[in-house]
Structure 1
Amino acid sequence: MAVLPRSLAGQAFALQAAVIMLVVMAGSALALFDAKRQGDEAARQQVTAIAVALADAPSTAEAIETGNAAPVLQPVTEAIRKSTGIAFITIMAPDRTRFTHTNPEQIGQKYIGTIEPALRGQTYTEVYTGTLGPSVRTIAPIRSERGQIIGLVAAGITLESLSARWRSQWLMIVGVAAGALALSFVGIWAIRRRVLHQTHGLAPDELRVMYDHHDAILHSVSEGLIVLDRNGVALVNDEARRLLALPAGPITRADLPEFLRGNDPGVRDEVRLTDDRVLVVNRSAVSASESEVVTIRDRTELQGALGELSSLQGFTDSLRAQAHESANKLHTVVTLVEMGRPDEAVKFATQELALSQQLVDRVSDAVSEPALVALLLGKTAEADERGIELTITEETHLPAEALLSPQEMVTVLGNLVDNAMDACDRDDPWVEVTVNQSDERLQIQVADSGPGMDPDTFARARQRGYSTKSDGGAGHQGLGLALVAQIVNRHGGTLSADVTYGSVVTVTIR
């Protein structure tokens, strides 16, 4: 039993070669058969035409009626026979007596063959074995002017001559078949090389296993994966559809978010925002196939956790700073006591403590969410260290059932306060914060002493990657207002900016 080659390219070559050989051989056999059939038919038509032409010629009937048939017609028939290449032309009387024959010795002898149909006025063709061997012959009647049958014409070609004619076409048919085989083998050899290059010599089973593994990995990985090529989107896995909210079925570039529609290979860990997610995008070019691989990681929950952690970190830093300051104040108090001035020591110790405790109590009473309390106190301490006057207004009030989650509140308020402290006027630095929820409406308003933003600048600031900081916003990656806008859009709220008593940014959620 023949064994197919191992590689897919080799198997394809072997199967194509077998099919091509079968087709060429069958075609050659059909060509030979058709050549024989057409040769036989052409010979029948030829002898019929010669017989009918001689029978209808007036000179033939005249020669028979005058009694000079043999000497007049023998030279004519031989000339015609030699020019046409047929085997014989015999003109005879109705009683079979030959007037002409290829062999002159047969003249006057009886014709061997069927003549009855011709005697009845029919032109008749048959295969018969005569004096020259088996032949295809046609017998046509010769009529006088009065319509009487006065003779017969038999024209024939031997089967041996027909075989010789047919065999002469073999060489051409075999040559064409050999040429077709050679050309086909060159073509399938080129196909084999291309398939071998594209499949790296892998066997069909190996390709199937590779595809199964590839398909399983694409559907199981926790990262979104998109393959872009010159024709559009070649591949999208399940996680990418989920993260980008893509529809089922084929995906085009128009279905992708705007930041993925263009060709931009080389991007590494770029943070992008959709309507409800924070994504980290990487894009790599595949030069061999002129395509691009895009990987997407979900950073939404991590971003919220980082915001909350940032607020807690700020609060921790403020506590550390206060602890350091408290140590200095404690040394001062101890020294005043040692100097014999206890009243002044008590007054000095309780003055700052009362102010700090008053701020903590007021914020804790106004805001029910501990994470937001920590954020506000931490930002207050940070502002104090930076020489910025941060005020939490008396209108601040947030019940326990807030319209935003603690993580969302930390993200919105933390980013707005950070932006305000970065943008405030350095000659008169102040920031004012108001958080108020009543009548099913949450309003977060942060004002600062900065120059504010015009509508175009504010619109750009809500896009990922934009920052008004002089350092390009490296610390925040230009995500501040973009993250705020994402949360506001998710809840159907509004985000606005204006310049009244300062630069004021307002978030309203209903």
Structure 2
Amino acid sequence: MRFPSLPRPRSLAGQLFAMQAVLIAVVVAGYALFTYVSDQRQAEDAAVRQVTAVARSIADAPSVRAAIHTSDPTAELEPYALQVMRDTNVDFVTIMNPDGIRWTHPDQQQIGKRFLGRIGPAQHGRTFTETYTGTLGPSVRAVTPVTDNGRIIGLVSAGIKVEAISERVQDQVTALFGVAGGALLLGAVGTYVINARLRRHTHGMNASELSRMHDYHQAALHAVREGLLMLDGRYRVALINDGGRELLAVGEEQEVVGMSVADLGLPAPLTGALLSSEPRVDEVHLTASRVLVVNTSPVSGGERRGTVVTLRDVTELQSLMGELDSERGFTQALRSQAHEAANRLHTVVSLIELGRAGEAVEFATAELELAQALTDQVVAAVSEPVLAALLLGKTAQANERGVELVVSADSRLDDGVLPPELSARDLVTVLGNLIDNAVDAAQGSVGARVTVTAYTSASELVLRVSDTGPGVDPAHADLVFQRGFSTKPAGPGGRGLGLALVRQAVTRLDGTLTVAESEQDGAGGAVFEVRLPLRTVVGPAAGPGGDV
């Protein structure tokens, strides 16, 4: 996902490198200044100690005293002074008489001339140091007396030029800058490598684009009504949006991020679909109160990184589809009945044309009485309009399929007896799916029949549907209510959803749903019984065979 081109800001890696370069430059500059000042002082102190030690060593040497007493001290002392300079790494060694006239000097032209600098403290028997600009330039020097039996017979001065001391400090500072340059280069290489790796992980997006993407991401999560669930490679919840929480009945106060899918308390088929490594496309799953369409897709990337799950609520759609199926069934029944009515009308017309008007009237009257008797039977047993209409329609549908649908004499359900919490849609879902399932089971059996019983007591509504089909294997007594289970071949739209919807509706209404073997007339088959609690008083008790 890329965003519209905007003035591209400096990359995060560039900013990090610039900050790193500035930080290293500030640190190196500060440390270089501190080092220069500190090392300059330390170098001067070291030079003072060095020249003092050299000067005293020369002054204490017996050979020097002996040479001073000769008639030509320069001839003896000049080679010695030059050798000491080479051995001790000092810039000059000057040996002079007590008045400061040089006997030795690195520049032979200066021999015999007066020493430049102070010599007073040495003439009084003290060793001292100073920084002075002489014939060789500024230097740190030490001056000490040469004594013989307590008498000062000469002076010795050893010195190191300030330029040489600065060169030593500069070498250290240069080495420091070299280390700083190496650190900066290493930081640049490291920043480049990290930036390249970061861009691979962020698909080339910089920090600003990632920030905008996060804002869009958060807005989309809250705006999308469908449920969105993201699982990591270990099938733990990495992200869930508001729609997902609502569809999976996960409260806002419940912290589910980091939980395993198996710990969410979802129905087993839905949990299995979420835990599957194979993608799922438009699978229908039921929760306690909803019908969900589930799609799963693994996150690509060369390794198992997780799964993206989308959830759509089709509870209302499924209910409308059920009603549409019922309406379609009613239409087919009416079309069939219209065809049958046309045949009967032709029969009546033919009887009249044959001059048998009495027989025509008798035939037509018998058909009307039969239809009215069926209507009167249903309405007398179940006067609640929605269920009565459902039973009449299902009777016509069952008749078209060669199955007799009857309302038992034990039924009694008057209009207005049901409380508001039992909606007509829920009752149609429960009773309609039970009847459709029973008709499917009874079709083709000997004496195919479906019997419906509906009545209320003081505390519950009882709906019972039995059939003459093959019955339900006790081993499958619980499996028949799971989505996808069916003993019949699957059609284009799949099978096994009706009874699952029944159980969902019954569970939502706090009722019970059971299946057992029918013992009616020894015909076998199955009997499904639903008991729904009534939360309001419905009047005097009524039961099988009783009147209200």
Provide the TM-score with structure 1 as the length reference: 0.78
Match 1:383 to one of 398, 402, 424: 398
1:470-497 deviation line (CA, Å, top 9, x unaligned): 3225445431222112112212222222
C-alpha deviation, 1:52, in angstroms: 7.3
Equivalence for 2:171:
168
1:147-178 deviation line (CA, Å, top 9, x unaligned): xx999997653321122223334654454444
Equivalence for 1:458:
477
C-alpha deviation, 1:392, in angstroms: 1.9
Equivalence for 2:538:
none
The answer to which of 177-186 and 306-315 deviates more is 177-186
1:6 aligns with 2:23: no
Between the aligned partners of 2:318 and 2:68, the Cα distance in structure 1 is: 120
Note closer, same or farther for the CA distance 1:130–1:310 as it changes in structure 2 (3 Å cut): same
Matched-pair contact (CA < 8 Å) for 2:36–2:173: no
Matched-pair contact (CA < 8 Å) for 1:390–1:433: yes
Matched-pair contact (CA < 8 Å) for 1:139–1:153: yes
Matched-pair contact (CA < 8 Å) for 2:144–2:155: yes
**Structure 2: runs of 5+ lacking an equivalent:** 1-5, 520-524, 534-548
Between the aligned partners of 1:369 and 1:94, the Cα distance in structure 2 is: 142
Between the aligned partners of 1:443 and 1:143, the Cα distance in structure 2 is: 134
C-alpha deviation, 1:408, in angstroms: 0.8
Equivalence for 1:434:
453
1:198-239 deviation line (CA, Å, top 9, x unaligned): 667778776666554444343223322334444744443322
Equivalence for 1:485:
503
Note closer, same or farther for the CA distance 1:327–1:49 as it changes in structure 2 (3 Å cut): same
Note closer, same or farther for the CA distance 1:67–1:300 as it changes in structure 2 (3 Å cut): same
The answer to which of 235-244 and 406-415 deviates more is 235-244
1:254-269 correspondence to structure 2 within 5 Å: 254=260, 257=266, 258-259=271-272, 261-264=274-277, 266-269=279-282
Equivalence for 1:348:
363
**3-state DSSP of counterpart to 2:455:** strand
C-alpha deviation, 1:445, in angstroms: 2.0
Note closer, same or farther for the CA distance 1:180–1:361 as it changes in structure 2 (3 Å cut): same
The answer to which of 483-492 and 12-21 deviates more is 12-21
Match 2:86 to one of 79, 82, 88: 82
1:226 aligns with 2:229: yes
Between the aligned partners of 1:284 and 1:88, the Cα distance in structure 2 is: 87
Matched-pair contact (CA < 8 Å) for 1:91–1:98: yes
Matched-pair contact (CA < 8 Å) for 1:139–1:154: yes
1:312 aligns with 2:327: yes
Note closer, same or farther for the CA distance 1:6–1:475 as it changes in structure 2 (3 Å cut): closer
Matched-pair contact (CA < 8 Å) for 1:268–1:283: yes
1:364-396 deviation line (CA, Å, top 9, x unaligned): 233344332222222222222222232322222
**3-state DSSP of counterpart to 1:433:** strand
The answer to which of 455-464 and 295-304 deviates more is 455-464
1:296 aligns with 2:296: no
1:503 aligns with 2:518: no
C-alpha deviation, 1:274, in angstroms: 1.6
Between the aligned partners of 1:141 and 1:273, the Cα distance in structure 2 is: 111
AA of the residue aligned to 2:242:
D
**Structure 1: runs of 5+ lacking an equivalent:** none
AA of the residue aligned to 1:339:
L
Q: How many residues align?
A: 501
C-alpha deviation, 1:360, in angstroms: 1.7
Note closer, same or farther for the CA distance 1:427–1:202 as it changes in structure 2 (3 Å cut): closer
Matched-pair contact (CA < 8 Å) for 1:44–1:138: no
**3-state DSSP of counterpart to 1:269:** strand
1:421 aligns with 2:439: yes
Equivalence for 1:43:
43
**3-state DSSP of counterpart to 1:397:** coil
1:322 aligns with 2:311: no
Q: Percent identity?
A: 42
Matched-pair contact (CA < 8 Å) for 1:312–1:375: no
AA of the residue aligned to 1:251:
V
